[in-house]
Amino acid sequence: MRFISLAVAAGALLACSSGGSAPVTAAVGASPVVVELYQSQGCSSCPPANAALNQIASDPNVLALSFAVTYWDQLGWKDGFAKPEFTQRQYDFAHAANGNRVFTPQFVINGTNAGSGAQSLRQAAAKAGSPTGGPKIVVAGGAVNIGAGKTAVPATVWQITYDPRIRNVAIKAGENGGRTLPHRNIVTQLKSLGKWSGTSLRFALAAKGDPALRTAIFIQRGTGGPIISALKL
């Protein structure tokens, strides 16, 4: 685990390899478990976490997302997938947990810090289960329809675009120099569609451009709070 500034509030550290192949189960119609990985091609601790995320990426009950952060870019290798808004999202999780440091690799499951290792990732996702407490999400006719419900804190409706293909990247410098690293479910765009405060809403679905890309929607309380509903398209 590589720290850049202070530790995010303590979460259970997962050990270091992939662990298990049984699928994560979910009730019919339930939201997928949202597993986010914050990583960089410039971080030597990240390849095992990338491999673990790649292994669960095809699970129909998991929304696995790889966010490349920017704070390693000045240390010998610039990650071509990294964007400042992805780094900011990781800091939002840190601030929500009363911390101000971020680290790589970091797994966040349903909006909660799940540590930096990879061995028990599938088991951690199964234990977390589907996000709960949020409204139903339906996408039809180029629009995202959010149902009514109760919430004490306004929630953000996010549209995420990601690449499900395996992208093999030859790293030519930095801590991973000389290696070719496979990436999957790389997030290419994170867009806030608006706020949900309990009433039914409808948002236009943003165009994803490349037809090979996939789209997901999730609803998250506050800034850096728990994810309460999700949908893979």
Q: Is the pLDDT of residue 8 over 50?
A: no
Q: Is the pLDDT of residue 148 over 50?
A: yes
Q: What percent of the chain has pLDDT over 70?
A: 88
- Rounded to an integer, what distance in angstroms lies between the CA atom of residue 13 and that of residue 106? 9
3-state secondary structure of 49: helix
Q: 3-class secondary structure for 97-129?
A: CCCCCCEECEEEECCEECCCCCCCHHHHHHHHC
Averaged confidence pLDDT in the chain: 89
Q: Is the pLDDT of residue 71 over 80?
A: yes
CB 13 within 8 A of CB 42: no
The per-residue pLDDT for 25 is 63
- Return the domain boundaries, the chain: 2-232
Strand partners, 106: 38
Q: 3-class secondary structure for 169-187?
A: EECCCCCCCCCEEEECCEE
Q: Is the pLDDT of residue 177 over 50?
A: yes
pLDDT tens for each residue of 77-89: 999 999 999 999 9
pLDDT tens for each residue of 110-142: 999 998 876 789 999 999 999 999 999 999 999
The per-residue pLDDT for 120 is 87
Phi, psi values for residue 212, rounded to 5°: -75, -15
The per-residue pLDDT for 116 is 82
Least confident stretch, 89-93, 97-101, 218-222:
97-101
Least confident stretch, 4-8, 12-16, 78-82, 85-89:
12-16
The per-residue pLDDT for 119 is 73
The per-residue pLDDT for 73 is 95
- Number of Cβ within 10 Å of residue 7's Cβ equals 16
- Rounded to an integer, what distance in angstroms lies between the CA atom of residue 140 and that of residue 144? 7
CB 61 within 8 A of CB 23: yes
